[in-house]
Amino acid sequence: MNKPLRVLLVDDSAVVRQTLSEVLSSDPEIEIMATAADPFIAADRIAEEVPDVIVLDVEMPRMDGLTFLQKLMTQRPIPVVICSSLSAGGTETTLRALEYGAVEIVTKPRLGTQEFLRESRETLCQVVKAASQARIQLMRPVEPALTADAVLARGAPAAMAHTTEKVVLIGASTGGTEALRVVLETLPVDSPGMVIVQHMPEKFTTAFAARLDRLCSISVKEAENGDRVLRGQALIAPGNRHLLLKRSGARYFVEVRDGPLVCRHRPSVDVMFRSGARYAGRNAVGVLMTGMGNDGARGLLELKQAGADTMAQDEATSVVFGMPNEAIKLGGADRVLPLNKIAGGILGACQ
């Protein structure tokens, strides 16, 4: 049998360390190697034994988590999962951790809420396992291919006020936050309307969408119920809510709704892809990117069977080749593309 994954927990709260230890230890494939109250103690633990994964807090005494993460990634890269309390003022700071090399962000479990604790267990254990498989050397940002928009912005055509015939649906999980940045930064301002599910905790998606909106030529926003799908705009599913594509006549819009976890996720890529197959069919373009598990694999196949153009990210550029690999094995992907070719694949499919 394979040895359990060794995890180092770094958090200044003894209660949080105890809770996380109990949650993660409940999975027989995970072992708590050690805990640390701050990065200096963590560094001593790493010197004694290198963990498979580090679960790291952001706000800590003596040295904050971001500084520790930067030092770690330049000296001894180890897969890191950020575990945050999701305070409103800290979401932007925590998102910066993804730029510095963290694999994923998860929510600290809230004590006293059995359903939340159960869902937290599933999420935490899955993310830690995914992090152990992550290709850390690929966490460096990939430079996008620049277009003329980098020098001179194109005037917005009148057609941008109307819903495009083609609609792009993108799903991603572990490693997807930076992969999405690479794809969306490359797209020109008049790109087809996009609907995106990125597995991410509640509250983080607002800051994540705002960050992408600042970086990209297209507009990016967290989806709200009833938002229209427009050219030059990407709508990102809110954390802890499913996102569905709908249609009224020739116009596409989105529905944001509650519901059970699907493939252990809410939002679920499968849910979004199925709605795309139903309401867009051959006018849809489906893209499944890096992530652990199989969410989106069946949905991508449904899109293909409905006549949509489908593609999956390749193994070499995926941080975790789980979701795209499952879709490929099912026969759901028309094409398998490296990360730096996905934007071009989208534009080509929409011509």
The CA R_g of the chain, rounded to the nearest whole Å, is 20
Separation between Cα atoms, residue 65 and residue 85, nearest integer Å: 13
Separation between Cα atoms, residue 298 and residue 173, nearest integer Å: 15
Q: Are 64 and 32 in contact (CB under 8 A)?
A: no
**Cis check: omega of the bond before 267, within 30 degrees of 0:** yes
Structure tokens at 100: 């510095």
Separation between Cα atoms, residue 57 and residue 66, nearest integer Å: 9
Strand pairing partners for 244? 255
Q: Are strands 251-257 and 242-248 parallel, antiparallel or unpaired?
A: antiparallel
What single DSSP character describes residue 203? T
Q: Are strands 219-222 and 193-198 parallel, antiparallel or unpaired?
A: unpaired
User: Which helix or strand (DSSP H or E) is residue 313 part of?
Assistant: strand 309-313
What is the CB neighbour count within 10 angstroms for residue 283? 19
Choose the catalytic residue: 295, 309, 314, 318.
Answer: 295
Give the number of residues written for the chain: 351
Q: Verify whether residue 265 is a known catalytic residue.
A: no
Separation between Cα atoms, residue 236 and residue 227, nearest integer Å: 11
Choose the catalytic residue: 84, 120, 173, 275.
Answer: 173
Choose the catalytic residue: 191, 199, 217, 227.
Answer: 199
Separation between Cα atoms, residue 343 and residue 186, nearest integer Å: 6
Measured at the CA of 209, the angle between CA 205 and CA 213, to 5 degrees, comes to 170
Q: Verify whether residue 173 is a known catalytic residue.
A: yes
Q: Verify whether residue 199 is a known catalytic residue.
A: yes
Separation between Cα atoms, residue 235 and residue 139, nearest integer Å: 24
Where in the sequence numbering do the catalytic residues fall?
173, 199, 295
